[in-house]
Amino acid sequence: MTTRSLTSIRALVIDVDGVLWHGDRALAGVPAFFDFLRARQIAFTIATNNSARPASEIVERLAALGVKVDADEVLTSAHATALYLPRLAPRGARVLAIGGDGLEDELTRAGYALVDQNADIVVVGIDWDLTYDKLKRAALEIRRGAKFIGTNADKTYPGAEGIIPGAGAILAALQAATEVAPLVIGKPERAMYDIAVEKMGAARNASAMLGDRLDTDIEGAQRAGLTSILVLTGVTTRESLAQSTVQPDFIFADLDTLREAWLRGY
C-alpha cells in the first residue's frame, strides 16, 4: 500500500468496463463520482481497452446516466493504436483490421487503408462478430510478413452474462497459429498511460489509475509510475487479490466508498 494520500491526486485515468458499468448495467455511484471530480477540478481521461467501442458511444452512454463528458476526455485502445501506428508504418499503409467499428473508424481517420489481403499490418482488437474466416485471413497475413499489432491483451471481459473471452483470447489464438507474438498497445503497456497523462497535461506523480483489473489497470499503472486504485466491482475479487503479487496502492469496494474516502481526506 502507498503512503500517498488520495488528496494528492490531481489527474485520474479511469477504466470503463467493471468500473463504470458491467455490460448493459451501470454500476452504482457513477454520476456522484464524476460530480465529485468536476467539483474538485480533478482532470480525468476515461481510458478503455475495449477497441470496438467508439469514444462517442461512451460519451452517449454516460450522458444517459446524467454525466457530461467530451470525446477528448475518452481514450480507447483503438485510438491509442492509431496514434502509435505511424512509428511502425507510414499513413496510407495497408491494414487488415479484426475488430469493431471503433477500431476501423480510428484507423481510417488516421489515414490507413483497410484491406482484406496483402496487408502491411494486422491490427486485432475485440470482435463481437469473430469468425474462423477472419482468424484465417489474419493468420495468413501475419505468416506472410505483416506486422502483428494488438490493441490490448485483456484475456477476459466482464460482460452482462459473466466473465467472457476478451481481445487477448483472440491474440492468443493468432499467436498459436502463427508463432508470432503481437506488439500490444493498450493497458498494461505504457503507451496508453503516457498518452492519457499527456492529454491531461498532468504531472505523473500527481496522477492515478482507477481500474478493476490487476493484470492491466494496476500492473500498467505501476509500470508507468502512476498511483493505482482498485475497485472490486469488476474482474478482481478479494480472493484473487490475496493471491496476486500485483498489489494496488488503494482498494475500495466501489466508486461510492472511494468517493467517501477521498472526501474524508484519506
Domain with residue 111: its CATH number is 3.40.50.1000
Place of cell 459473466: 162
Residue 256 — pLDDT band, cuts 50, 70, 90?
Answer: very high
Contact 227, 30 (CB under 8 A): no
Instruction: Clarify whether residues 150 and 99 are in a common domain.
Output: yes
**180 in the same domain as 98:** yes
| Any domain includes 63 | no
Same domain, 122 and 172: yes
Does residue 148 lie in a domain region? Answer: yes
pLDDT given at position 3: 53
Using the 3D structure, point to which of 167, 184, 201 is the last residue of a domain. Answer: 184
Per-residue model confidence (pLDDT) at position 24:
85
Report pLDDT digits (tens) over 183-200: 999 999 998 999 899 999
pLDDT the model gives residue 1: 45
- Is 150 found in the same domain as 208? no
Contacts 24+ apart (CB under 8 A), 80-83: 80/151, 80/185, 80/186, 80/191, 80/192, 80/195, 81/51, 81/106, 81/107, 81/123, 81/125, 81/149, 81/151, 81/185, 81/186, 82/106, 82/107, 82/109, 82/110, 82/112, 83/110, 83/195
Q: Is the pTM of this model over 0.75?
A: yes
Residues known to be catalytic: 15, 17
What is the distance between the alpha carbons of residues 56 and 259, in angstroms, rounded to a whole number? 26
Per the structure, the complete domain to which residue 96 belongs is given by 90-184
96 and 180 in a common domain: yes
Tell whether 108 is covered by a domain.
yes
Output the CA–CA distances (angstroms, integers) from residue 26 to 18, 108, 226, in the order listed: 9, 31, 26
Alpha helices in the chain (DSSP H): 30-39, 55-64, 77-84, 101-109, 132-144, 167-178, 190-200, 219-224, 238-243, 255-263
In a domain, 110, yes or no: yes
Specify whether 139 is located in the same domain as 159. yes
Read off the C-alpha cell for 236: 478482481
Q: Give the domain-ending residue among 184, 202, 232.
A: 184
Answer yes or no: is 137 within a domain. yes
Q: Are residues 33 and 105 in the same domain?
A: no
**For residue 64, what pLDDT is reported?**
96
Instruction: Label residue 161 by pLDDT band (50, 70, 90).
Output: confident
Per the prediction, the chain carries an average pLDDT of 94
Instruction: Based on the fold, state whether residues 192 and 237 are members of the same structural domain.
Output: yes
pLDDT in tens, 96-117: 999 988 899 999 999 999 999 9
Provide the number of structural domains found in the chain.
2
Q: What mean pLDDT is predicted for residues 226-245?
A: 96
Model confidence band, residue 247 (pLDDT cutoffs 50, 70, 90): very high
The reply to whether 81 falls in a domain is no
Q: Which of 119, 149, 184 is the last residue of a domain?
A: 184
The three cell numbers of residue 107 are: 484507423
Regarding whether 138 and 217 lie in a shared domain, the answer is no
